[in-house]
Amino acid sequence: MPEQQNYRAPRGVADILPDDQTLWTAVKSTAIYTARQFGYQQIDTPVFEHTSLFRRGVGDETDIVQKEMYSFEDLGGDSLTLRPEGTAPVCRSYIEHGMHNLPQPVRLFYIAPMFRYDRPQAGRFRQHHQFGCEAIGDPSPNIDAEIIEIGLRYITALGLSDVTVRINSIGDPATRTSYADDLRNHYAKYANDLPKVDRDRLNRAPLRLLDSKEPATRKLSADAPKSLDYLSDNARNHWEALLTLLDGMKIAYPNFNYHIDHTLVRGLDYYNRTVFEFEPSTEGSQTSLFGGGRYDPLIGILGGNDTPGVGFGSGIERIILEIQRQESLEIDVPPLNAVMVHVGDNATNRASSLAAELRNQGISVLMAPAGKSMRAQMRYANRANANYAIILGNREIEQGVAAVKPLQFEGDQNLVTLDAQSIAKSIAE
């Protein structure tokens, strides 16, 4: 006899149980409503893509490509990867479907699972769900400000307060080379003080040392060269215009604060100019709720015409943790109107058709398990937290009535005519 296996979800993934679904639905509905307020249209891309899409788009030297992707070879010999982030697939779709022929910018949003082989911890999972917005085809700082405002309106609608936007400009690829060289030289002077993980990054990705979590590296970053000192004239004009727009945003959002953070670079190679992260200002919270930035080179890297883009990705699990921490959102669970209690074959048959008629009138009805005693079915109705029990037995069927009993408040059990309209009226009263 084979050994019995007690299966559990793999490490780093989680079930979203029925008790959690109401909050999840509220967060996703808020995301959809917010994106559509700004004229964004929903897009779904495949859960897996060609591995080369992420190697080229995200960058060979990034942590995602180096050690976090779930890649596999299919039966046809193609190398495929479960989607670790949403921007590269959306840009691939933009190119493939000729969206450059549409009025620009093309505004898109998605809600989808992402997969990364990451170290599981609070708010960080190997499968997580992401709400993302992408605006492709507009180089102006106005669209950067719009993307940031979407994020701001999203968290505001969820009741999250005391949130600060960290923001920086990392310039253009042409000027970033000299910046990266100076950054490399700065850290090289202290190479012996760097942790191994950052020594390994020093030559291949010096900008990544700026957002290192290692205390020794963070201390050295305080005196590191600043990307804002290396901006081209165009990048500087873009940056200053964006800050002016963000200052103006405080009129509509009085609690909005932003902070220029010279160490903010984000971890993906496709970013240029604007990068930002939303983080709670209060102690005891996570370091970041979500972030994004401008990715003007990406469409060209993926084979399309050079096309500017900007967007963000927000992990829903992190947002939910922060909602729970701040107790910022009161969720009203729609009540279950009634449980149909039925004893006897004739009663069961009539109860089934009656429940269907009541649902046609917008009344939610749960059928108690057939074949159980009246007492057992009433216990079931009480545990279901229904407002009413609609009771049918053979005697009620013979008399042409149904008993309607309130369960959540004081009141008498009433006998009403055995038809959906009479029962619905009794429940409404």
Same domain, 279 and 307: yes
Last residue of a domain, one of 283, 308, 326: 326
Mean pLDDT of the chain: 89
pTM of the model: 0.87
Q: Take residue 259 and report the two structure tokens written for it.
A: 């902070």
pLDDT at residue number 73? 93
Helices first, then strands: H and E counts in the chain: 15, 16
Q: Is residue 94 part of a domain?
A: yes
Give residue 2's pLDDT band: very low, low, confident or very high (50, 70, 90): low
**Distance (Å, whole) CA 115 – CA 106:** 26
Same domain, 241 and 375: no
- Domain of 95, CATH number, reads 3.30.930.10
Q: Which of 8-17, 28-37, 244-253 has the highest mean pLDDT?
A: 28-37
Residue 17: phi and psi, rounded to 5, are: -80, 165
- Name the least confident of 74-83, 172-181, 301-310: 172-181
Kindly tell me if the per-residue pLDDT of 76 is higher than 60: yes
Task: State which residues form the domain around 104.
Answer: 18-172+231-326
Same domain, 370 and 273: no
| Omega before residue 254 within 30° of 0, cis | no
Same domain, 275 and 364: no
Q: What is the pLDDT of residues 365-419, one digit of tens each?
A: 999 998 899 899 999 998 988 899 999 988 888 899 999 999 988 888 889 898 8
Query: Closest Cα partner for 61 from 276, 207, 217, 194?
Result: 207
pLDDT at residue number 211? 80
End-to-end Cα spacing for the chain: 60
Higher confidence at residue 215 or residue 297?
297
Same domain, 103 and 252: yes
pLDDT at residue number 127? 92
DSSP state, residue 1: -
Length of the chain: 429
Q: What separation in angstroms does the CA of 250 have from each of 241, 258, 280, 342? A: 15, 10, 17, 60
- Please list, residue by residue across 309-334, b when 16 or more beta carbons sit within 10 angstroms of its beta carbon and e when fewer do: bbbbbbbbbbbbbbbeebeebeeeee
pLDDT at residue number 189? 86
pLDDT at residue number 315? 93
Give residue 154's pLDDT band: very low, low, confident or very high (50, 70, 90): very high
pLDDT at residue number 203? 78
**Domains identified in the chain, total number:** 2
Same domain, 248 and 157: yes
- Amino acid identity of residue 382, one-letter, is N
- Domain of 359, CATH number, reads 3.40.50.800
Q: Is residue 73 part of a domain?
A: yes
Residue 290: phi and psi, rounded to 5, are: -170, 170
pLDDT at residue number 283? 59
Q: What is the pLDDT of residues 279-290, one digit of tens each?
A: 987 654 457 889
Q: Take residue 343 and report the two structure tokens written for it.
A: 């004893």
SS3 (DSSP) at 272: strand
Long-range CB contacts (within 8 A, 24+) of 15-22: 22/331, 22/333
Given the DSSP bridges, would you call strands 163-169 and 257-260 parallel, antiparallel or unpaired? parallel
Neighbours of 220 (CB within 10 A): 20
Task: Kindly state the average pLDDT of the residues 146-166.
Answer: 92
Q: What separation in angstroms does the CA of 176 have from each of 173, 182, 245? A: 5, 10, 25
Distance of CA 303 to the CA centre of its chain: 28
Query: Closest Cα partner for 247 from 260, 256, 238?
Result: 256
Give residue 1's pLDDT band: very low, low, confident or very high (50, 70, 90): low
Query: Closest Cα partner for 317 from 118, 23, 89?
Result: 23
Q: What is the pLDDT of residues 332-355, one digit of tens each?
A: 777 889 999 999 888 888 999 999
Q: Is residue 360 part of a domain?
A: yes
Q: What is the pLDDT of residues 108-153, one digit of tens each?
A: 999 999 999 988 777 678 999 999 999 999 999 999 999 999 999 9
Same domain, 41 and 117: yes
**Contact present, 135 and 310 (Cβ < 8 Å):** yes
